[in-house]
Structure 1
């Protein structure tokens, strides 16, 4: 008898057919919560899950006695109780690598847009306010030759740094990461403490994963340490930055601008001042949102799930210890 999987992510017809060839599939279109009654009922017979953007609470695992693997269509895994999954012997797979370059493109687009005030001045033209040559009140700032600070220096941070160093001659600093001698040699990157990086950087780009230790890592004190001319870019997870403190710093001019693709709560509340501030470029979490990359992420998740449920090691695995314990069993 085929194993049963629950699918709640965006998959192509070809990917669904690939899964159907191996498993019995139950689809949940538009699922927004794991507490959906039909989804909870289906968990009782599920061997695998594949999807994204739905948090799986630890307590639900007791209702899934047959669950062997979760294939998340994402690189981040803050929606999943990793420790509880590991205790239950459930493999958690994600999709790093395939979205690295696309997310870095988004980060650098935010750097360019905030520095050159692209959105603000495009709106200026759209309103018909461009009646004469612009003056200093509308000038932006250069990106080339400036100092780019990466908070976190994993795959995405390194990809942003390559764009800055090799394409724009930027000086690269990084913090909250282990030493990266290869990248230091390639990009001239220099490791700093977080406080040092904040004080030196013209652009502070946050790429570090969300965890208990990085929640509100960038708060009021950290924002105070930045240059008043500096720009904050967040393409990691919203709660890594204290949003209330950021709004206050922007309103008071303690930093120059912010480029944001992620927020404390998504979708962003209509009551938030962020999208209405002239010194903020606010995007709707588009980091990996291209046709090519989203399809590649979904395919990686499909491949991960097929491998995991057939007794093989997935390509991308978060809790390696579960696989090691299975091998030793």
Structure 2
């Protein structure tokens, strides 16, 4: 007799090839219209699922998990960050949590480097001038930006993505600096020609560009608060492709409006999908809709990791991407 397939509830639309494979392997409930689930819908999902496949925008908190049926034993999250999941409650209920690390490193680093180049060189400003029909022809002083070659880049969070950003930035002639919970091994520092700053405050005061590449945890919430942002030179730029909550968005907006910072490139926001309306008024800011990891290759790789994590767990083994609290 064939073994009963586990009920897998997927909260958002995934690439077709991944959804098809899920349908083949499991008793799968898909979200065809891709509408984000409300808390009530998430509660209904955990009341029926053996496995929940949420995304980083689904808040799997105590209110949801406290309603879960006893058969829910795995949350196989589609994404790297796990700050949307109440890990302590999941652990207390005997629910294993997995994520999809590593596969988005190059995509996110590409987008970070694109913003590092685009903000100082005023790319989107120039594009808006063209579309508005306001270009009067080349001028010696027209659309002047800043050279990035020779500038100092300070990377906050030197994990996989931070190191991938450093490799790209080094090739563009930037001087690499970083702040991290731990100093990197000497051989990695030598390869990247990277300078470690134990003090974030000291680093911020000396950099031309800051790239935020650390995860959002309780310890990194508003890591760049008003006090720290004020340490940065007025000519400096902030690039964030990590999590919006790492930056005090209101403080950043005020400084950009007042000319206390030169500009910013933001792919993430503190209260997504809401964006501070005053940010939308600023020409010295590039705003992107959280698309740093948005490649079809990356999304399929993420889906394949989810499939492997579920299949491994169901077969009675420890899934390869199990999230352990101590790792965060």
Shared fold by TM > 0.5?
yes
Residue among 252, 257, 262 paired with 1:246: 252
Runs of 4+ aligned residues of structure 1 deviating over 4 Å after TM superposition are none
Residue among 116, 134, 137 paired with 2:139: 134
- 1:117 matches 2:122: yes
Q: How does 1:111-260 map to 2 (within 5 A)?
A: 111-136=116-141, 138-165=143-170, 167-181=171-185, 182-192=187-197, 193-260=199-266
Residues 78-109 of structure 1: per-residue CA shift (max 9 Å, x gap): 11011111222211111111100000111111
Distance 1:119 1:13, change over 3 A: closer
1:325 aligned residue? none
Distance 1:145 1:249, change over 3 A: same
Structure 2 distance, partners of 1:135, 1:248, is: 31
Q: Aligned residues, how many? A: 318
Taking only aligned residues, the RMSD between alpha carbons, in angstroms, comes to: 1.8
Residue among 252, 264, 272 paired with 1:266: 272
Residue among 276, 282, 289 paired with 2:281: 276
Q: What is the deviation of 1:202?
A: 0.8
Structure with more contact order per residue of length (Cα contacts < 8 Å, sep ≥ 6): 1
Residue among 71, 92, 117 paired with 2:97: 92
Distance 1:175 1:42, change over 3 A: closer
- SS of 2:277's equivalent? coil
TM-score by length of 1: 0.91
TM-score by length of 2: 0.91
1:59 aligned residue? 63
Distance 1:31 1:305, change over 3 A: farther
Equivalent pair of 1:48/1:309 in contact (CA under 8 Å): no
Structure 2 distance, partners of 1:319, 1:292, is: 27
Residue among 23, 26, 49 paired with 2:26: 23
- 1:106 matches 2:111: yes
Distance 1:42 1:234, change over 3 A: closer
Q: What is the deviation of 1:268?
A: 3.0
Structure 2 distance, partners of 1:158, 1:123, is: 32
